[in-house]
Amino acid sequence: MSFFKNIKDKLSTQTDQVTEKFKDGLSKTRNSFVGAMNELMMDYRTVDEEFFEELEEILIAADVGVNTVMELVDELREEALRRNIKESKNIQPLITEKLSELLIKSDEETQINMQQGELTVILVVGVNGVGKTTTIGKMAKRFKDDGNKVMMAAGDTFRAGAIEQLEVWGERAGVDVIKQQAGSDPAAVMYDAVKSAKSKNADVLICDTAGRLQNKVNLMKELEKVKRVLTREIPDAPHEVLLVLDATTGQNAMTQAKIFQEVTDVTGIVLTKLDGTAKGGIVMAIRTELDIPVKYVGLGEGMDDLQEFIPEQYVNGLFSEVIQEAGNEEETS
């Protein structure tokens, strides 16, 4: 089955509501990126070296990442030569295909590692200000709406108001929050939380953590201690370590991701505020340069606007017209 036909078929199995959320949430990136691409096609009727140099600038401006862009454009040069593509309008589906392939690697890796019949422990990390506590609250609601018994652990005991903020989200989502006093040892909070979650037969425990990057050594020691406590109580916990990043900070988010990769085993990314940026290409940079799957994206302010990351939906949110046209051509040929 061809590439574009495969995307169209996968999209047809997903709800219109999800498709619209991705399209609406990616509108700023789409308008900026597609607008620049359209101008490129008008300015350069033929595919030459100047065309590829301009394409590089557009992709870098969308925060796709310099290394990724260089590799991608080199591939496009070779493929255009191999397929004898001379006109710029004929290379657009190829650009879409190559960008899409960066993200669509396998279905399983974007899914949360849920433990069937046992407690699933999710550790959430990230610097202050990226929307970590809000993300935890929205995640809790998602899991609860799916029929799970959910609890939250207030492990960010240092930031003023962090515990109270998590309690507010607990009330909104209808989920219990395990906490201690401000300034308490986060590992002690995790110990209490696991014991409580087990005793109440919870399905999911979502653990908040401190987000201080001023001293990497302290952060590393703290996260190692928290993970050690979790693993002692449940040998394969935490089952996920999710890093929350703010999409609007662009390459700064990449820097944060690299630091957290050094101090803990990040298994997935939650990218917040994707609807608030025109540089949604950061998803591709994270996926290719860090090799960490994006598991959730924030596409709005509402309780239900934290969405599971579906690569085909992201690609369609940016390139729906190209995918539709290419898919139709393949079906009729």
Q: What is the b/e burial string over 305-316, where b = at least 16 CB atoms within 10 angstroms of the residue's CB?
A: bbbebbbbbbbb
Residue 128 labeled ligand binder: yes
Give CA torsion, residues 6, 8, 74, 38, to 10 deg. Answer: 170
Residue 174 labeled ligand binder: no
Residue 209 labeled ligand binder: yes
Residue 210 labeled ligand binder: yes
- Cα Rg of the chain (Å, integer): 22
Residue 302 labeled ligand binder: no
- For 280, phi and psi rounded to 5 degrees? -70, -5
Residue 211 labeled ligand binder: yes
Residue 212 labeled ligand binder: yes
Residue 129 labeled ligand binder: yes
Residue 277 labeled ligand binder: no
Query: What is the C-alpha separation between 206 and 241, in angstroms, rounded?
Result: 10
Residue 200 labeled ligand binder: no
Q: What number of H helices and E strands is found in the chain?
A: 13, 8
User: Is the CA virtual torsion 285, 289, 291, 292 positive or negative?
Assistant: negative
Residue 132 labeled ligand binder: yes
- In three-state secondary structure terms, 294 is strand
Of residues 242, 241, 239, 238, the one with CA closest to residue 229: 238
Query: What is the C-alpha separation between 234 and 188, in angstroms, rounded?
Result: 15
CB 327 within 8 A of CB 162: no
- In three-state secondary structure terms, 330 is helix
Residue 208 labeled ligand binder: yes
Residue partners of 262: CB distance under 8 A and separation at least 6? 216, 220
Tokens describing residue 180: 């201690």
Residue 155 labeled ligand binder: no
Residue 126 labeled ligand binder: yes
Binding site for GTP, by residue number, is 126-133, 208-212, 272-275
Binding site, by residue number, is 126-133, 208-212, 272-275
